[in-house]
Amino acid sequence: MAAGFQGYLAGKAPAEIGSSDVKRFLSHIAVEKKVSASTQNQAFSALLFFFRHVLDRDLADISETVRASPRRRLPVVLSRQEIRRVFAHLQGVYLLMAKLIYGCGLRIQECADLRVKDIDFERGTLTVRSGKGDKDRVTVLPESLKMELQLHLAGARRIFDQDFRDGRAEGVALPDALERKYPNAGREWAWFWVFPAPAMSDDPRSGKHRRHHIHVSNLQRSFKEAARRVEKIDRNASVHSLRHSFATHLLEKGYDIRTIQSLLGHSNLQTTMIYTHVAGRNLLGVISPLDTP
């Protein structure tokens, strides 16, 4: 971006560069280069740093700069039939993780970070802790997954018992400062991963030999391969498409948009409203005058 600014000024001496040059350059890349809003903001941050720390000057008012328009991308949503066909090509732990992501509206990292204590079978809820924006939220736990999840946790319990029976494990990693406050909590079953990795490894930050959760890249690869094997899915579907599909399918069933916002953990309702553009039903409930007798 610095080279682009220098080329735009045609070799103008640094001492002669002013705020008007920055204003014209930012408008130029927005109007003629058609860069995205994030790219324009990145260019502004770089130039602000250049002025303050290289030229030792502050930028004057550039409020009249033409702003690049934010580009809104519609999410990739799969139909229920497409999701069932993708699931048919998944197996084992990756199938269970994909079902949880779709059934609970999780982000992929939120699924990987789940602890045993986050699942409440009696209440039928799943708690997401320290999600995006470091927020906790509660979402629905599908009734159809309870038995499968309990069987999976029985296997995870065997891994947990084996780790500490051998005396090799030093306890799972804990969030934030909890490890200092409760040094033995990482050895408790409640804090163990729902989806533990198949083998232990050294923690690069603490140097401790412990078991981590399954890496999200493994699920991403498995899902991509499964989607590729399904005929007639010509969109760039990813694991995150399952979260988009969760929201869209709830909207199509008539659930309130604010309920969906809460389940997804969106701070802004406008973020959730994007699903109204991809839902496959008349969300307004309006009957066209052409259809009325």
The one catalytic residue in 24, 89, 132, 208 is 132
Tell me, yes or no, if 71 is annotated catalytic: no
Q: What is the largest CA-CA distance in the chain?
A: 77
The one catalytic residue in 23, 85, 99, 107 is 107
Tell me, yes or no, if 67 is annotated catalytic: no
Tell me, yes or no, if 132 is annotated catalytic: yes
Q: In whole angstroms, what is the distance from residue 43 CA to residue 256 CA?
A: 40
Q: In whole angstroms, what is the distance from residue 60 CA to residue 53 CA?
A: 15
The one-character DSSP state at 74 is P
Helices (H), the chain: 2-8, 19-31, 37-53, 80-87, 92-104, 108-112, 146-166, 178-181, 216-229, 240-252, 257-264, 269-273
Cα dihedral angle (44, 46, 47, 51), rounded to 10 degrees? 130
State the number of CA atoms in the 13 A half-sphere of 73 facing the CB: 7
Tell me, yes or no, if 53 is annotated catalytic: no
The one catalytic residue in 211, 213, 243, 249 is 243
Tell me, yes or no, if 213 is annotated catalytic: no
The partner residues of 137 in beta bridges, in order of sequence, read: 128
Tell me, yes or no, if 243 is annotated catalytic: yes
Sequence-distant (6+) residues with CB within 8 A of 53 are none
The one catalytic residue in 115, 213, 249, 266 is 266
CA-CA distances (angstroms) from residue 237 to 80, 162, 213, 220, 227? 14, 38, 24, 11, 7
Q: If we measure between CA atoms, which residue out of 51, 102, 146 comes closest to residue 263?
A: 102
Catalytic site residues? Answer: 107, 132, 240, 243, 266, 275
